Chains A and B, each alone.
Chain A
Amino acid sequence: MMNLTNRSKVVSNKQMTFWERIYIPAILGGMRITFGHLFRRKTTVQYPEVTREFSEIYRGKHVLKRDDDGRERCTACGLCAVACPAEAITMISAERKPGEEHLYREEKYASVYEINMLRCIFCGDCEDACPKEAIFLTREMVRSEYARGKFIFGKAELVEPFDPAKRIDISKRQTPEVLEFKKNRSYKHNR
């Protein structure tokens, strides 16, 4: 049979020598490796007291953005769901009623918007697909849970707070071209 690597060893039934039979040299050799690691630099951190440095554009938990007036940007167009390779996103849309103009930006909005965080692979395709700059991935991580059901994040977990001071800054995730485009108020997109 052809070898796939050159690291395979042929096992033999050869008798062990006296030194090999008492095992003490082998144990000491193993101990040396084990205790040697005590004096090396630690590779782990004491999470959650200590956290690692995150990239500015880390792709963590999603956020559904509000616009400057606090209206939800998402119109439930479904492009994020069709772009999602893991099929993690589902939504149900509803029509905006008169008097709800301060809540939703367009005449249609997502009444239910769910991301299954167990399915999500945090690729950021939803963000790329979004025509309304509504969904972004943030530097926040998805917390661990004991039950699967809690990983289905609805609008309560995803939509950012109404309070302007608590809004989530995603400007780092946008390219200079996008930021330049957004300055142009003549596009309906930016109004």
Chain B
Amino acid sequence: MIKVTIDNILIEVDEGTTILNAARKIGGKVVPPAMCYYSKLKGSGGKCRTCLVKVSHSSTKDPRPMPKLVASCSTPVQDGMVVENLTSPEVIDARKGIVEFLLLNHPLDCPVCDQAGECDLQDLSFGFGMEETATEEQRREFPMTDIGDKIKLHMNRCILCYRCVYVADQLTDQRLHGILYRGDVSEIGTFIQNAITNDFSGNVIDVCPVGALTDKTFRFKSRVWFLKPMNVHRECSKCSGKVTAWMFGNEIYRITGRKDQYGELEEYICNECRFEKKALTDWVIEGPRHIKRQSVISANHYERMKMQSIIKPIEGLMESQE
């Protein structure tokens, strides 16, 4: 066990833990935001630079500060390390710049995008972003593509976090998509529009921090804050069957995996649960999900489940008012 101090909070963690995971053990505002790191995907992280922190005291052996801000998702802690996240104005300033970089090619089409309301980049730019950008150049534009018949890829919105690539690599037996080209022209693609047919391919939608990969069965159906997320489950031979159903009245609009407080999936779910089971009779309802008060999804939502009335409205009474 080694001791680290993050934002003046002392914690003991195992050797080899990254700064980000040490901060997550403390929890709360100390945790640096992450766009590409995903604790359940091996090798993820180190790409978006959102989680930059300042190390003002490397270790007890070597008390010098680290020369540059470091990516907390890929830097292991050392004994006696002192990390500054929100307490350092330098970090806040750097994060502002990172948001600007991420938004260089990200279109501001949130009113159209299905991810709006649960988008990590939206939260990040709301928290750290600036109102203006220093660049005048055009954003890169791609034609919209379909990955299979259920997943839509908006390459315009992609921030190249590689999460979906890791999901395909680690979860499915055969990866059919990846990053094509290099540098600022690189893009997510399938070779000659190869369809991803694996049973768990739908999870790329949930791991995508932005709206680049979206559910075609939910495309433009509703906005997430009009829907009620419910914990539901069913017997499934392929996955655990524990999912979140996004409901509007008695209708299920879409199914996603259950996400924890860092926006990461608790369990991966199969495509059958995600895309095909949209009837209420397929699922057993456990109850409403807890929504963070800060989230727009919490608008007009109540944690208590209200059962539908068994008394039918008198039809003639309503018609006379028309």
Contact = CB atoms under 8 A, between A and B. Distances in A.
B223 A78 contact: yes
Given A77-B223, A94-B220, A186-B136, A82 B299 contact: yes
Given A75-B112, A106-B111, A186-B136, A95 B296 contact: no
B289 interface: no
B110 interface: yes
Interface in A81-138: 81-82, 87, 93-95, 106-108, 131-132
B219 interface: yes
Interface residues of A, number: 21
A113 B165 CA distance: 39
B220 A106 contact: no
A75 B113 CA distance: 10
A168 interface: no
A186 B134 CA distance: 13
A80 to B, nearest CB: 11
A167 B171 CA distance: 55
Given A82-B296, A87-B300, A188-B108, 10 more contacts: A79-B111, A82-B300, A93-B220, A93-B221, A95-B220, A106-B109, A108-B111, A108-B112, A147-B321, A186-B136
Report whether over half of chain B's contact residues are helix, strand or loop; otherwise say mixed.
loop
Given A82-B299, A132-B111, A77 B321 contact: no
A176 interface: no
Interface string B134-148: 001000000000000
Interface of A: 75-79, 81-82, 87, 93-95, 106-108, 131-132, 147-149, 186, 188
B269 interface: no
26 contacts: A75-B111, A75-B112, A77-B111, A77-B116, A77-B223, A78-B222, A78-B226, A79-B111, A81-B226, A82-B225, A82-B226, A82-B296, A87-B300, A93-B221, A93-B222, A95-B219, A95-B220, A106-B109, A106-B111, A106-B112, A132-B111, A147-B322, A148-B321, A149-B321, A149-B322, A186-B136
Interface in B210-230: 219-223, 225-226
Contacts of B116: 77
Contacts of A132: 111
Which has the most chain A C-beta neighbours within 10 Å: B136, B223, B226, B300? B223
Contacts of A77: 110-112, 116, 223
Interface string B291-303: 0000010011000
Nearest to B107: A188
Contacts of B112: 75, 77, 106-108
A132 B109 CA distance: 10
B181 to A, nearest CB: 25
Contacts of B108: 188
Contacts of A95: 219-220
Contacts of A108: 111-112, 220
What are the 3 closest A-B residue pairs judged by CB atoms, nearest first? Answer: A77-B111, A78-B223, A149-B322
A76 B225 CA distance: 13
B141 to A, nearest CB: 11
B83 to A, nearest CB: 37
A78 B221 CA distance: 11
Contacts of B226: 78, 81-82
Interface in B100-157: 108-112, 116, 136
Nearest to A77: B111
A79 B108 CA distance: 15
A186 B133 CA distance: 12
A3 B88 CA distance: 59
A175 to B, nearest CB: 16
Nearest to B299: A82
Nearest to B109: A106
A86 to B, nearest CB: 11
B225 A131 contact: no
Nearest to A146: B321
B5 to A, nearest CB: 41
Nearest to B226: A78
Nearest to A83: B299
A170 to B, nearest CB: 19
Contact of A78 (B109, B219, B225): B225
A148 B226 CA distance: 25
A76 B114 CA distance: 11
A148 B317 CA distance: 12
Nearest to A74: B111
Contacts of B219: 95
Nearest to A75: B111
Nearest to A95: B220
A78 B225 CA distance: 9
A93 B322 CA distance: 25
